[in-house]
């Protein structure tokens, strides 16, 4: 039985989006184009403030985060909710053979 391409779900970093992650993964998409299908999703939390001028000059928003840091409590908020968000996505669009994360996306 012939197996199709491997499917890899890609999770971007903080203040990024699926389009930016696709840009970061462009080399790998080219190298593995015959063997791997990369799929990109956005995190659930939209960032409402300007965080990085370089990104906003090159890429269209909105931009997202998987979690936010609470400076007063010194904790990350939203990690569990983001994990559930990804699990729901996988249940709807999977199965996947792997997950690739960048920066904050690796937390999930």
Q: State residue 43's pLDDT score.
A: 97
Greater model confidence, 99 or 71? 99
Report how far residue 102's alpha carbon sits from residue 12's, in angstroms, rounded to the nearest whole number. Answer: 5
Greater model confidence, 2 or 62? 62
Q: State residue 58's pLDDT score.
A: 81
Q: How far apart, in Å, do the first and last CA atoms of the chain sit?
A: 33
Q: State residue 1's pLDDT score.
A: 40
- In terms of phi and psi (left: phi > 0; alpha: psi -120 to 50; beta: otherwise), the region of 74 is left
């Amino acid at each position: 039985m012939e197996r199709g391409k491997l499917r890899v779900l890609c999770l971007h970093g903080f203040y990024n989006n699926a389009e930016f992650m696709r840009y970061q993964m462009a080399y790998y998409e080219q190298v593995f184009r015959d063997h791997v299908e990369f799929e990109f999703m956005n995190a659930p939390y939209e960032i409402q403030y300007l965080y990085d001028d370089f990104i906003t000059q090159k890429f269209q928003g909105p931009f997202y985060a998987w979690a936010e840091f609470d400076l007063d409590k010194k904790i990350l908020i939203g990690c569990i909710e983001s994990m559930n968000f990804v699990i729901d996505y996988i249940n709807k669009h999977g199965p996947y053979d792997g997950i690739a994360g960048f920066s904050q996306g690796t937390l999930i």
